[in-house]
Amino acid sequence: MKINRYQDISEIDREAKKDYIDRHSAFVHCEDNAKAGEKFKVKVQVGDEYKHPDDFDHYISYVQLWDGERFLGEANFTAGTMGNAPTNVEVDFYIVPTKNMKLMAHAYCTKHGLWQSDEIAVSVS
């Protein structure tokens, strides 16, 4: 399966291409540091400036959180979950880390496939 990735949209000229890339890209939001053995919040948001559709044939089906190659969690959606209106899907994951992490997220669009976030390094002490 092809994995799509976010590009620096400031380098892309056409507004339509910016919209396409931004609204499908997953973004990981969390602190840079975590305490071993304590609950740690990681927010994954799909899209930043642009909202993704929530139509019966075009919606975000799932969002996953990974630590390198280790699967941490997944949230699944069906068409209409977001009220049949364009939105930035957001999922909060709560994990208990034991070692340094390299977090990344995947978001799957039913029309445009799998999208992967940039990797975020988290130090665990």
Contacts of 14 (CB under 8 A, 6+ apart): none
pTM (two decimals):
0.87
Contact 103, 120 (CB under 8 A): yes
pLDDT for 8 beyond 60: no
Domain 3-124 sits in CATH at: 2.60.40.730
Contact 61, 71 (CB under 8 A): no
pLDDT of residue 101: 98
pLDDT tens across 52-103, in order? 999 999 999 999 999 999 999 999 999 999 999 999 999 999 999 999 999 9
Measured CA distances, 26 to 39, 90, 98 (Å): 22, 9, 24
d(CA 36, CA 98): 5
Query: β-pairing, 33-34 with 120-124?
Result: parallel
Q: How far is CA 5 from the centre of its chain?
A: 11
